[in-house]
Structure 1
Amino acid sequence: MTGVPEFVVPRQLPLAVRDFTGRADHVAALDALLSGNGPDSVSDAVVISALDGAAGIGKTSLAVHWAHLVQDRFPDGTLHVNLRGYGPGDPAGPGEVLDGFLLALGTPPGDLPQGIEAQAGLYRSLLARRRILIVLDNANSADQVRPLLPASPGCMAIVTSRDSLTGLVVTESATRITLDLLSFGEALQLVTGIIGAERAAAEPVAVAELIRLCARLPLALRIAASRVGADGRTTVTDVVSELLDDRDRIDALSTAGDDRAAVRAVFDSSYQRLTAEQASLFRRLGLHPGPDLSLHAAMALGGLDVRNARRLLGGLASAHLLEPSAGNRYRFHDLLRAYALEQATVVDSAEDRDDALKALLDWYVHTAHACDVVLFSGHLRLLSPAAMPVPKPPFDDQGGAMAWIEAERFNCLAALRHAATNGLHQVVISLAEGLRFLLLLGRHDEWLESGLAGLDSARKTGDDAAEIRLLLITSEAFTLLNRWVEALPDLERAMALSIELGDEYNQASVLNGVGLTHNEREDFDKAVTSFSEALRMIPKGVRMEGVIEGNLGLAYAGLRQYRLAFAHCERGLALRRRVGDLTGEVGAMNAFAKLLQDIGDHGKAIEMCRTAIARARAIRAPLSIAHPSYTLATSLHETGKVREAIECWTEAAVLFARYGNEQRAAQARERIKEATSPAASSARSAIDSTSRYS
């Protein structure tokens, strides 16, 4: 059993800046902070450095440069994240960042905790007694950073921000290091390093003018000089002339302290060298609401095929207007994202922008529903595969679908939030219905968020049929979050609407939800009545029929009518298998194992649980692991395999706690406590003695 993730050594630093220039005093200040953190000694406190300064001043370059210099002094790894603190779109939330760090530290994707407190707890546990360097880039506040700070001596965090982060200095004893503009000498050295000494010597006046126009701002200098260095036909004078031609650019580059304007002007000079196709895609990419984007998302935004999308994205990356990352994914620097969106607003009509966004949102909607088809086979759905737009989903099996949802989860949620903010109600409804895959990741809070957003849109549009479906989603999410009382009003409203519309399928779904509340209250007679009525109404051969059969079996088990319980659970399991409902099959096997326990057949129960756990691991469904692990532990304990039982209860407790089911986690911990108590040990010793001498 695997209750704790295997620790790996992450090395997440971006590429070091080859021609990093200057900042000797700042490098020395960072070195001084590390004096107690070397390989032969461990600091008695966490070291936190806050690098602050204006946009484009070189905070990231310094942090990454220095981190590369010292990362060998952190043998357990280096973590890095861009917190997206400034720019359009939402900053990176602590949950998103902690998910990424936990994955980097070896936590399986399906085992990621739910909730900031649980995420931060596991994160700090994994950092304990290790020496790790954490680079938290582009923060917008101390609050954004605090959950990401280590708590263990030997670790160091570098935080970069446009904000002074005084809160970290006061409450976390962070050392503040402020960056200012480069000196003229440092700026000259930077430009010369990029374009070459020979070309710099050939145009000394132009080089000096370039430095002046770029306000000695490192990012502006680097982009402008790179235009010269990348093309032997372009002179420094050419670039300077282009900067002088546009009054807005001149004003931006010469306004003291307006560093963002300086960067925008330099982006202009790079942007105007793009081909028409590249520029069009660049602008459209700025419309994307999520933290990064895939090749396929770019295809949807640009209306492109694979070949042209790769070509244009490669051109943008070569021009340093887009940053490529692993897995055919791309992202913008914050300022570049703002610039691309600004250009889209200026150049493209509102109709063109709306069409591009519609294509992107449609792609997320239909691809999410394609995931639903693969991962929840047999589930009744509304979207037809014939309606699938180009590009087609980048997967054709369950493994590919799981990889897609792990990569696109945040983008799907960002798309839904964007649609909700902009009143795109049909998109919100459709996307909310397509995010059922959040259940496989244990993200019940996000499932509830999406359902509530969809429900709001359904009500605003007066779509009663959609409202029923969304009420079923919210009631299910409330149930999974152990908020049963809040689920009941949604079930009542859904039933009233279903009766009004004559919708027997959803009436059956509501009755199933009502039956679950009766089961939870151990009112099994009423549960049997609800499930039996639901089973009578549900169409044959759909996934929900198997769900109801299994739930009816459990209700009969509560009444100790085991013949009927086994019959219904067997039918439920068979139906789940028939429609290819893999997660449902795991749940049905766990239910069947519990029935076997009830009649004392622990051998078969153990066999059934082991099979269920293996299936759950294969499909990376963490909560589907937790339930049969708990059930398996019970049978193992009953058959004298106490040590293995404790391992299973431990894994179940960890998983239940991570995904918000504290009640079940507490039950598992209580069973561990009972199994390890002195009385239990004495009883086992007595049994061992009897066995030994009998």
Structure 2
Amino acid sequence: MGDRLGEDHKGDNQVSGTVHGAVVQVGTVHGDIHLAAGPPTAPRVPGPGHPADDTAPWQLPSVPPLTDRAAELAALERHHRTALEHRSGTLAAISGLGGVGKTALALTWLHGLCPAFPGGQLYADLGGQSPAGAGDPAEVLSRFLRGLGVPGSRIPRAVEERASLYRSLTARRPLVVLLDDAATAAQVRTLLPGGTSVTAVTGRARLPGLSVDGCCQIHLEPLGVEDAVALLDATVADERVRTQWKDARALVRLCAGLPLAVRVAGARLAARPARRITTLVRALEKEHSRLQALTIEGDRTVQAALDCSYATLRADAARLYRLLALHPTAEFGTGVAAAVLGGPGGAPDTATVVGLLDALHDASLLADAPQPASGRSDGDGEGPEPGARRGSGTAPRNGTGSTTSSVCTPWRRPRRSTRPRNAVRRCAASSASTWRPPPRRSPSSSRSTAPSPATWAPTR
């Protein structure tokens, strides 16, 4: 009888639902229950001889196609090896115009490192180009800590304490981190992990402030013609690029080597197996409808990618950006920038002009022009300048609510001209009919399809 009663009174030690923290199961409690809680600990790091930890975060997106970035990948690898020699973390910032392949490069590099960092992967979109504004580092840290196994109730309230806990956990658990679309260096610093972790940062704007943190700065340029054709061939995935190679080269030139534009063009061709490449070339040659021809409904568009670069400019830099459309060549010095900014009160001082040019440069809308030994330009161009040109922007016209959507066209310099010292380079951009086109040159001028009105988004 006693044995039977003992069986009837056995407890059922099961808990349903999700529980964070300790669970106490007792029959009758006389007095208090005291639980000793230590600091949250990181899950065990998997490694040789240890099974993988199921709690490790694996947040990186899949690797997208990447074309012709061998030099940049080699530079990132060298930087990582140097950091390992110094037993420090690795930090790299990848900048460039929207759609140039920054995230693709970062993901390719980080996924290659993942086998050496089984502690996990963390990913955050920092919203540097989001209309809602840049992401809050405190919220990103909260997501990272939850990903590392810290219960929500144990996450500190203060951002400094969150950052400290985050560094402590990652110092014992090195991993790889991708901070996508960063806005500022300060935003990034708060999110840097501890120990020997690897962090890749992407953003439209250069973040020179991170150089003091030992950051490797990589600026991506658009693809050259041959590499852009290879990307188009991989996207179309049939014989058309190889059998219609002249049209394929013309197409990628009209896309100005921007990988996003080339992929969109390739996707449109892939969806129409019977369509010849020249049909799309003719559509892109119509400047005022070029962006519509580079659109896939319901998907990311070239226009959206380019507009973001312009939208982040402060008002005075955006005004200079628009006024530079009046200059007839793709390279100019500070004197030209000062002249277009001049008004009844005269031109601004040199320091102001340089500051505005620096703002455009940091936003990847200007690039330093190479200085030839002769001090002159390289003559009459037979096609677009080396590297691709990019336009951007939704730009107000004369203070009205009208907007212009722009994407670059190839630009041929019509004549030999003297290059000023400290010149910068811009690219031509087409725009909508809300802009009044500048005077056309005579048909004898050596150039390709001229930009109509023009916002300029200079790049190398």
Band the TM-score falls in, shorter-chain normalisation? 0.5 to 0.7
1:66: Cα distance to partner?
Answer: 1.4
Larger radius of gyration between Structure 1 and Structure 2: 1
Q: Match for residue 4 of structure 1?
A: 40
- The 2-side partners of 1:109 and 1:58 are apart by 35
- 2:127 equivalent to 1:157: no
2:305 counterpart (299, 320, 335): 335
Matched-pair contact (CA < 8 Å) for 2:76–2:216: no
1:235: Cα distance to partner?
Answer: 3.7
1:336: Cα distance to partner?
Answer: 8.9
1:248 counterpart (267, 285, 288): 288
Q: Match for residue 103 of structure 1?
A: 146
- The 1-side partners of 2:303 and 2:155 are apart by 27
2:161 counterpart (112, 115, 118): 118
Report the structure, 1 or 2, having the larger helix content.
1
| SS of residue matched to 1:34 | helix
C-alpha deviations, 1:44-68, integer Å up to 9, x for none? 1121111122222211110011111
Report the identity percentage: 33
1:68 counterpart (90, 96, 111): 111
1:33 counterpart (48, 68, 79): 79
- The 1-side partners of 2:110 and 2:147 are apart by 17
2:237 counterpart (150, 175, 196): 196
- The 2-side partners of 1:9 and 1:42 are apart by 26
Q: Match for residue 385 of structure 1?
A: none
1:147: Cα distance to partner?
Answer: 0.2
Alignment CA distance shift 1:167-1:200 (3 Å): same
| SS of residue matched to 2:190 | helix
Stretch of structure 1 that moved more, 58-67 or 122-131: 122-131
Q: Match for residue 173 of structure 1?
A: 214
1:104: Cα distance to partner?
Answer: 1.4
C-alpha deviations, 1:3-27, integer Å up to 9, x for none? 516533111111111x321110011
1:244: Cα distance to partner?
Answer: 2.5
Whichever residue aligns with residue 16 of structure 1, its letter is V
Q: Match for residue 448 of structure 2?
A: none
- The 2-side partners of 1:16 and 1:51 are apart by 16
C-alpha deviations, 1:515-574, integer Å up to 9, x for none? xxxxxxxxxxxxxxxxxxxxxxxxxxxxxxxxxxxxxxxxxxxxxxxxxxxxxxxxxxxx
1:236: Cα distance to partner?
Answer: 2.5
1:207: Cα distance to partner?
Answer: 1.0
Residues 618-629 of structure 1 mapped to structure 2, 5 A cutoff: none
Alignment CA distance shift 1:242-1:10 (3 Å): same
| SS of residue matched to 2:106 | helix
Q: Match for residue 69 of structure 2?
A: 23
Matched-pair contact (CA < 8 Å) for 1:13–1:80: yes
- The 1-side partners of 2:268 and 2:258 are apart by 16
Alignment CA distance shift 1:73-1:100 (3 Å): same
1:51 counterpart (65, 88, 94): 94
Alignment CA distance shift 1:25-1:81 (3 Å): same
Whichever residue aligns with residue 335 of structure 1, its letter is A
Matched-pair contact (CA < 8 Å) for 1:88–1:334: no
- The 1-side partners of 2:245 and 2:304 are apart by 33
Q: Match for residue 175 of structure 2?
A: 132
| SS of residue matched to 2:261 | helix
Q: Match for residue 427 of structure 2?
A: none
Alignment CA distance shift 1:241-1:211 (3 Å): same
Q: Match for residue 83 of structure 1?
A: 126
Matched-pair contact (CA < 8 Å) for 2:176–2:197: yes
Matched-pair contact (CA < 8 Å) for 2:102–2:220: yes
Whichever residue aligns with residue 195 of structure 1, its letter is V
- 2:251 equivalent to 1:216: no
1:166: Cα distance to partner?
Answer: 0.8
- The 2-side partners of 1:242 and 1:110 are apart by 57
Structure 1 residue runs without a partner (length 5+): 251-264, 275-315, 323-331, 342-694
Residues 640-659 of structure 1 mapped to structure 2, 5 A cutoff: none
Q: Match for residue 148 of structure 1?
A: 191
Residues 146-545 of structure 1 mapped to structure 2, 5 A cutoff: 146-152=189-195, 154-170=196-212, 172-196=213-237, 198-245=239-286, 247-250=287-290, 265=291, 268-269=292-293, 271=295, 274=297, 316=298, 320-321=299-300, 335=305
TM-score (norm 1): 0.35
Alignment CA distance shift 1:57-1:337 (3 Å): closer
- The 1-side partners of 2:153 and 2:285 are apart by 54
1:189: Cα distance to partner?
Answer: 1.1
Alignment CA distance shift 1:120-1:32 (3 Å): same
Alignment CA distance shift 1:333-1:42 (3 Å): farther
1:191: Cα distance to partner?
Answer: 0.8
C-alpha deviations, 1:206-225, integer Å up to 9, x for none? 21111111111111111221
- The 2-side partners of 1:60 and 1:54 are apart by 11
TM-score (norm 2): 0.52
Whichever residue aligns with residue 62 of structure 2, its letter is L
1:338: Cα distance to partner?
Answer: 6.1
- 2:61 equivalent to 1:14: yes
Aligned residues: 263
Matched-pair contact (CA < 8 Å) for 2:42–2:169: no
Whichever residue aligns with residue 162 of structure 1, its letter is R
Matched-pair contact (CA < 8 Å) for 1:86–1:334: no
1:194: Cα distance to partner?
Answer: 0.9
Alignment CA distance shift 1:336-1:77 (3 Å): farther
| SS of residue matched to 1:26 | helix
Whichever residue aligns with residue 20 of structure 1, its letter is L
- The 2-side partners of 1:336 and 1:216 are apart by 14
- Could you say what the CA RMSD is over the residues aligned between the two structures, in angstroms? 2.8
1:181: Cα distance to partner?
Answer: 1.7
Matched-pair contact (CA < 8 Å) for 2:142–2:162: yes
Matched-pair contact (CA < 8 Å) for 1:77–1:133: yes
